[in-house]
């Protein structure tokens, strides 16, 4: 989980991934592709990104490629979008150990460090290995039903088991390393990585956990018993969440993938065997980012 001051490589193949259903990224993405090509770099554009902005494979200095091909061929992936785009790319690419850097087209940007207007000014530092590498842990979860694995997914931010669209609470049984912890009656339970501690877990009252820390955060959502508080556990445990009673239970991965659950289903979580590598620009500070995004130390505005 340690960070280093630079990355020991000169990327020869760079992939570009864009925000879903955002045709406005076409101009910045094409400009970035052309600048990379001028530096002698092979440029890949993710197939879905190329399709949604109507970018033809033969229309410029790039080739289109799906995530599998990007993972196999790219030395670096530049994600043009926001945190949601970064989360999606991370789930696809973590197992390939290809580093990601984010260009922020979104509003908040805890993961996408570079403002869109600064992209080209950072390009020499990025390609020259002067960005800082940071490993972020991820989660993997199996959905168990009737003794078998119904589905498996990974998440960078969090896995959330909740009551779904129906207003009634959900009853959950929590076990850690097979030890019974508690029965929880609530709107749901967030299981978060340190990266995800500033997302849904934070809005649910959980702590902010530095990404260099090793652990997982469990945050009950609107618990019936106010003594059910957020807890932090190690990153080497197995977590099991069983649905005891519910009307419309669901499980969500990074808020982007949703599966319907049934009573007696079990969500079994652990740390994913692969981390995702993020690259940060020179001068990046996690705490400075928090001050900016969360408006710490700002004076109250007068009426």
Q: Which domains, ranges and CATH numbers included, belong to the chain?
A: 13-137+275-294 (3.40.50.10330), 139-271 (2.60.200.30)
**pLDDT of amino acid 226:** 87
pTM: 0.92
Please give the pLDDT value at position 7: 46
Task: Give φ, ψ of 198 to 5 degrees.
Answer: -95, 10
On whether the CB atoms of residues 155 and 91 are closer than 8 A, the answer is yes
For residue 57, the model assigns a pLDDT of: 55
- Averages of pLDDT over runs of 10 residues in the chain (303 residues) are 50 93 82 92 93 67 93 97 95 97 83 90 93 97 97 98 91 98 97 98 97 96 94 98 97 98 98 97 94 86 62
174-208: burial string, b at 16+ Cβ within 10 Å, e else: bbbeeeeeeebbbbbbbbbbbbbbbbbbbebebee
Q: Any idea which residues carry the catalytic annotation? A: 83
User: What per-residue confidence (pLDDT) applies to 108?
Assistant: 66
């Amino acid at each position: 989980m340690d960070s280093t001051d630079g990355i020991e490589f000169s990327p020869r193949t760079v992939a570009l991934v864009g925000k879903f259903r955002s045709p406005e990224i076409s101009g910045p993405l094409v400009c970035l592709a052309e600048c990379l090509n001028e530096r002698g770099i092979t440029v890949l554009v993710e197939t879905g990104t190329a399709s949604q902005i109507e970018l033809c494979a033969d229309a410029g200095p790039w080739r289109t490629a799906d995530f599998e091909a990007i993972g196999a061929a790219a030395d670096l992936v530049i994600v043009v979008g926001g945190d949601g785009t970064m989360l999606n790319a991370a789930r696809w690419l973590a197992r390939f150990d290809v580093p990601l850097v984010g260009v922020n087209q979104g509003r908040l940007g805890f993961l996408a460090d570079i403002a869109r207007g600064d992209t080209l000014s950072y390009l020499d530092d990025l390609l020259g290995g002067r960005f800082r590498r940071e490993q972020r842990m991820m989660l993997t979860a199996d959905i168990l039903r009737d003794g078998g694995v119904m589905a498996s997914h990974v998440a960078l931010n969090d896995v959330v088991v909740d009551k779904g669209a129906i207003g009634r609470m959900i009853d959950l049984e929590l076990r850690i390393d097979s030890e019974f912890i508690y029965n929880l009656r609530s709107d749901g339970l967030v299981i978060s990585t340190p990266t995800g501690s500033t997302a849904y877990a934070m809005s649910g009252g959980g702590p902010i956990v530095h990404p260099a820390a090793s652990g997982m955060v469990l945050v009950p959502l609107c618990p019936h018993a106010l003594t059910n508080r957020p807890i932090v556990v190690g990153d080497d445990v197995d977590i099991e969440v069983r649905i005891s009673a519910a009307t419309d239970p669901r499980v969500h991965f990074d808020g982007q993938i949703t599966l319907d659950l049934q009573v007696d289903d079990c969500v079994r979580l652990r740390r994913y065997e692969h981390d995702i590598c993020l690259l940060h620009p020179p001068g990046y500070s996690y705490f400075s980012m928090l001050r900016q995004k969360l408006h710490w130390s700002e004076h109250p505005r007068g009426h």
